[in-house]
Copies of this chain bind each other. A is one copy, B any other.
Amino acid sequence: MESYFMFKNLAIIIVAAKICGIAARKCKAPQVVGEIIAGLLIGPSLLGWVEQSDFLIQLAEIGVVLLMFSAGLETDLKDLMKTGPIAALIACAGVFIPLVCGALLYMAFYGFAPWGSEEFYKAVFVGTILTATSVSITVESLKEMGKLKGRVGTTILSAAIIDDIIGIIVLTFVIGFKSPDSKPVAVLINTVLFFVFAIVIGFVCYKLFQYADNKYPHTRRIPIMGLALCLAMAYIAEKYFGIADITGAYVAGIILCSIRDSKYIAEKMDTNSYMLFGPVFFASIGLKTNVESVNMSILIFSIAFVAVGLISKIVGCGITARLCKFRGIDSLKIGVGMMTRGEVALIVAQKGLTAGLLTPVYFTSVIFLIIVSSISTPIILKILYSKDAASPT
């Protein structure tokens, strides 16, 4: 394919995402919903104007990394420390309950499987797919509403990060039973090592940036070096510790969230995001889908899968939040905020495919879950927040 085709694809994505984004806002829904729908519209499912390409996938990857870096930059470190333990509890419930429910769903459809049998692991694997929250859409929605920084926003964000890590550990355990290559203990150690590494490097980088920031405030080099740190941490997390790149980028954001120019960095990142990388990332979720290959039995399983996926997260996280003394409506916000699934669910599904624990046809269900949760989460969150604002507190 000639390189100039990418210009066409990017132009179509940018225009479609912006138009659908504006339309979504006119319907009082968040812009991201419009951008995902734009991807569905122009993708192979409907108009077929844009096809997924390696280049778009990589741009989208940069997009989600930039998004998580921004989220990290806007974190209030004191809030994070305060919400940390509770977030960890919420994350555990948000992994455990969907895991069990997913496995039970599979058995309900395909018959009970005894502990340790081949079918049993397949059932557990379907549950595993349901564990990983994908926080990027929630982040973008909360950001649009200006609610990213509050106690609820920070709790969701930190719970999602911890959830991600637990999800990866669970995945490694489940696959570990099937294949001898995977070492669950090594994953645990790697995760601990990564956070030790992040604290050490984080402290050094924080001091360096603080120095540079005082010496050259508001110069281009600050956001440029910030971007480099974000990319480097994303790489190091994946390459040396087997942690998701978005976790690395988020940690990079946290490292820089307390320097004086953190807002300046975030502003420059946002310009990069909203001009190109953001629309490409959100549209790419829609682009991945091809609704033609769906038949009736998959459709029914998918509907049940989506329902279980959403409800189990809301219940698991929401009830735990309520037990941790959040107000009722805030618990619901946390549950809903945690129910989005994204690329991590696809990555998990891909790993299951390689390990022989999943057949390709279930990809459709995973994509359904991603789309339904991506579209409904922002809408429900917006309703919850506006209800909350309307009611007397």
CB within 8 Å of B: which residues of A?
2-8, 10-11, 14-15, 18, 22, 54-55, 57-58, 61-62, 65, 220-221, 223-225, 227-229, 231-232, 234-235, 238-239, 245, 268, 271-272, 274-276, 279
Contact = CB atoms under 8 A, between A and B. Distances in A.
A161 to B, nearest CB: 18
A275 B223 contact: yes
B14 A231 contact: yes
B8 A239 contact: yes
Q: How many copies does the complex hold?
A: 2
Contacts of A6: 58, 61-62
B11 A57 contact: no
Contacts of A11: 228-229, 231-232, 235
Contacts of A224: 14, 18, 274-275, 279
Given A4-B235, A7-B235, A11-B228, A275 B272 contact: yes
A5 B223 CA distance: 21
A65 to B, nearest CB: 7
B22 A221 contact: yes
A6 to B, nearest CB: 6
A14 B54 contact: no
A54 B6 CA distance: 12
A224 B227 CA distance: 21
